């Protein structure tokens, strides 16, 4: 999910990455809606609120909402900055680092909310800012490494693309186009996973509260661990293959040497 970059990624890579990150985004968004009465996985509504506050002339609220939008932007900026500058050094770590930062942010929200949150407006604004930054990191990462194919924190573009694709599928020539079919599979999996994550958050909110952010962090950790396991397993297979080849070579050399010694003993 994280090892490959841009056009070298397969449909399976993108579906796995898109589905798991969409589940986490759905949970974060519904969690913030239930806990803070505000969305945190996208900034479309916040742009509308910003415009409204500008009209009202409420400078403090303008600054708060603008900072939320900026932090989502900065999260996306930071993700791609890490990817493009460190991919040549270590592709996996360059792709995993934004997720590590996102996990740190979400864990902080969970720990603070579970132990220190007093439900003040200032606390809510800071925690929402941190969640928007985390979602910007995630969306920037998935879009960056998938060549803008996978975006999982909001479904506006996904729903638009699905509407276009399904209209195209009314003609047979498009229904048989594998590229369009693959894109539809990816978008449906992302939308379904986002809804699934939201439903889970809604059902578990009463029992978990801020603890749901621990579960979300664990889900993101699975993405990181899966690729780490794949890398180590692949190295193990390569080393095993090399050892097998070396043993075959050694065995062959010993066999040749034994035959020579046997022939020399017979002739002597």
- 138-174 pLDDT, tens digit per residue, is 999 999 888 888 888 889 989 999 999 999 999 999 9
Whole-prediction pTM = 0.83
pLDDT at 10 over 90: no
Band the pLDDT of 3: cuts 50, 70, 90: low
pLDDT at 7 over 70: no
pLDDT at 112: 96
- Could you tell me which residue, 223 or 110, shows the higher pLDDT? 110
The continuous run of DSSP H or E covering 90 comes out as: none
Nearest-10 crossing angle of helices 178-208, 212-267: 120
For residues 101-115, give the mean pLDDT.
Answer: 95
* Distant-in-sequence contacts of 140-144, Cβ < 8 A, 24+ apart: 140/75, 140/76, 140/77, 140/78, 140/79, 140/80, 140/98, 141/79, 141/80, 141/83, 141/95, 141/98, 141/99, 142/17, 142/18, 142/21, 143/76, 143/80, 144/79, 144/80, 144/83, 144/84
Give which of 102, 138, 136, 146 is closest to 3, Cα–Cα. 146
- 49-58 pLDDT, tens digit per residue, is 999 999 999 9
CATH of domain 6-233: 1.20.1250
Percent of the chain with pLDDT over 90: 62
Q: State the greatest distance between any 2 C-alpha atoms of the chain, in Å, as a whole number.
A: 109
pLDDT at 88: 83
Percent of the chain with pLDDT over 70: 82
Residue showing tokens 């708060």: 64
pLDDT at 6: 60
pLDDT at 68: 96
Range of lowest pLDDT (13-22, 30-39, 250-259): 250-259
Q: CA separation (Å) from 223 to 69, 131, 219, 226, 254? A: 27, 19, 7, 5, 47
Band the pLDDT of 4: cuts 50, 70, 90: low
For the chain, give every domain's residue range.
Answer: 6-233
């Amino acid at each position: 999910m994280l090892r490959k970059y841009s056009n070298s990624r397969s449909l399976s890579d993108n579906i796995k990455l898109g589905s798991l990150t969409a589940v986490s985004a759905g949970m974060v968004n519904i969690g913030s809606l239930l806990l803070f009465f505000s969305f945190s996985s996208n900034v479309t509504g916040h742009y509308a609120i910003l415009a409204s506050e500008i009209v009202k002339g409420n400078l403090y609220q303008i600054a708060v909402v603008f900072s939320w939008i900026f932090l989502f932007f900065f999260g996306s900026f930071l993700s791609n900055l890490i990817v493009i500058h460190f991919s040549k050094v270590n592709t996996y770590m360059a792709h995993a680092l934004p997720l590590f930062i996102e996990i740190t942010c979400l864990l902080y929200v969970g720990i603070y909310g579970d132990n220190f949150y007093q439900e003040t407006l200032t606390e809510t604004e800071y925690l929402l800012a941190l969640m928007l930054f985390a979602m910007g990191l995630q969306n920037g990462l998935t879009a960056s490494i998938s060549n803008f194919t996978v975006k999982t924190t909001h479904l506006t573009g996904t729903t638009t693309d699905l509407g276009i694709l399904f209209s195209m599928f009314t003609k047979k020539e498009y229904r048989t186009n594998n590229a369009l079919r693959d894109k539809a599979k990816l978008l449906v999996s992302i939308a379904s996973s986002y809804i699934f994550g939201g439903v889970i958050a809604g059902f578990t909110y009463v029992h978990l509260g801020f603890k749901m952010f621990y579960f979300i962090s664990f889900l993101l950790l699975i993405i990181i661990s899966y690729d780490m396991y794949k890398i180590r397993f692949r190295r193990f297979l390569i080393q095993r293959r090399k050892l097998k080849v070396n043993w075959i070579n050694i065995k062959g050399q010993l066999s040749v040497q034994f035959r020579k010694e046997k022939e020399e003993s017979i002739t002597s």
